[in-house]
Structure 1
């Protein structure tokens, strides 16, 4: 039998509901949803309104325990209330055995509790129900969605007076790391360069308050031209992205995760194909861990590893080997420098002609995923830390001439001890 709570001259107007809701919830979108228009009670309809949760910044491990008040401002009773709570992945329910509540995971690792409050809220009266959640070790940028509908049925999507959203930042941090590359190429050649953005934690990253998402700024080395660009990398203008992702020929790019999420120990790779100018000398570019609007994230307390170099060494003392018709020959009448040694090929080969990597994300299990975005921040809404390993340098002394390999890479990945 339902417990009916009716106002009387001798009863308080706010009554705490006996069945505790242990939870809180959040929509996993990077940009807050627009508020839905408030519900207007018609003749003979309930109109439930939910109070706001107090702001909080919990430390990992702490439990948040507050209450909200559900008030009926309509003209008819709400006979039973379905109360829904959602939590982003850095939060969880401290107890998943509350009577009347069903727990599940929806969408992008969103924890959900759907609780049936067996009560009647008459017009002009209120009930109180607790909202409880705990901050996990990787908590950082979080959100909680909580509420019902104006009539007491399960809420839809979006937010209004009966279904609300609280964003919070846990008392923690995340260490963004920029990883560059040190490689070698010949003037006039084409060279691939792979850079990375890594999250060394302890908090996961997904901006719940704005579209200023975590990103990697890439400055192309002078004397080179970006011929192929990942779809996740847009040209950077004065103060933000200024064109669609994948646009070639720009001096500076900003790259961000396709799903706007960077989990703890996740590393994102972005590969550019660069055309080296015919008269280029050794040149240096830069990568920087920042945001899509080039604002240093407040949660990153270790700026020392935010920047790294893209260095392309251009040899200047190269001398071509003898042609087949020139110079002495060996006992097999083969021109010097053109024997059967597979390493003894002449410099000036085809060079790097590989395709552009589309923002690879390496997870903690070693699996790799790829994604693509169109550079439009309106579409705003993932584990592992391998560093870039380059190809080794090769050199052979043939006929007294040092032949330098076109591709020599030295990993310059910044590793956290």
Structure 2
């Protein structure tokens, strides 16, 4: 939390309205995107804060409060900052043989600088679409991946045995790195070189200006003989995975704002400005 307290040792009259003697200014950080400034007015019951280096603020009378005026002591100002967030993905190439298994790893990196958060419910998700190489079906998938939703909203069916998945990363923040690991069964008709794809889906129109790193290939090459080899370029530390029996084949396939806040406290009143960052820190 970041707060600014302003103490106004000036009596305030019931039914009257007041304004600040000069505009409240806030600095927009590099991670800003969708922000909120909260104001709260309340009698000051503790010691007054020490004076800061800025020009002193005072309360200026603005006449009688209109009958339709807001009597709630809380106010919110929304600030949309011009910013972007670069979500980059990398793929993988593995070697295996028909009738065996292989594991593919896809990496998703949030390069920022903007922090994406939903102003309404604090939940933001970065969706990623994974299409496995043709001729393969999933036997083990990350917990945060599901078959893509159906057009009519019905249950998409079993999670395993699919060739395509949609994965979600909650509260994406600059510097986050996620690894998606998929173990696949290699079918009898898998081509010698079979290529799928991983790509990020649009979180917000115009948010990611660099489309060149939004997708990457997931490639399976058949071995000339012997057992399937391990995945090349594999990365440890990925999300846990679920497993289960193969289902019938089928092709199916958040966001954080920083919140800024401010509290104005009347009577011997104070104003506080706070910014709520990811995770409520």
Is the shorter-chain TM-score for this pair beyond 0.5, marking a shared fold?
Answer: yes
Structure 1 equivalent of residue 101 of structure 2: 190
Q: Write 1 or 2 for the structure with the bigger share of strand.
A: 2
Shift in alpha-carbon separation, 1:237–1:114, aligned structure 2, 3 A: same
Residue of structure 2 equivalent to 1:206: 117
Is the partner of 1:143 in helix, strand or coil?
A: strand
Q: Which among 142, 145, 160 is matched to residue 230 of structure 1?
A: 142
What pairs with 1:10-409 in structure 2 (closer than 5 Å)?
A: 105=1, 111-129=2-20, 130-148=23-41, 161-208=72-119, 213-238=125-150, 247-258=159-170, 260-263=171-174, 265-281=175-191, 282-291=193-202, 297-315=205-223, 318-319=224-225, 347-348=226-227, 359-360=238-239
Deviation at 1:139, TM superposition (A): 2.2
- The CA deviation at 1:207 is 3.5
Instruction: Count residues in correspondence.
Output: 213
Structure 1 or 2, whichever has the larger Rg, is: 1
Shift of 1:312: 0.8
Higher relative contact order (CA 8 A, sep 6+): 2
User: Deviations for 1:341-383, whole angstroms, at most 9, x for unmatched residues?
Assistant: xxxxxx226968xxx98855xxxxxxxxx899xxxxxx988xx
Contact 1:219 1:287 in 2 (8 A): yes
Note the residue ranges of structure 1 that are not aligned, 5 or more in a row: 1-104, 106-110, 155-159, 320-346, 361-369, 373-378, 382-417
Q: Partner of 1:304: helix, strand, or coil?
A: helix
Partner residue, 1:396? none
Whether contact under 8 Å (1:178, 1:216) holds in the other structure is no
> How much has 1:178 moved relative to structure 2?
2.0
Q: What SS is found at the alignment partner of 2:208?
A: coil
> Which whole-Å CA distance do the structure 2 matches of 1:221 and 1:232 have between them?
20
Q: What SS does structure 1 have at the residue aligned with 2:212?
A: helix
Given that residues 141 and 169 in structure 1 are in contact (C-alpha distance below 8 angstroms), is that contact kept between their aligned partners in structure 2?
yes
Q: What is the root-mean-square deviation in Å for CA atoms of aligned residues?
A: 3.8
After TM superposition, the score normalised by the length of structure 2 is 0.62
Change (3 A) 1:220 1:112: farther
The alignment partner of 1:236 has SS state of coil
Distance 1:217 1:349, change over 3 A: closer
What is the rounded CA distance, in whole Å, between the counterparts of 2:27 and 2:100 in structure 1?
55
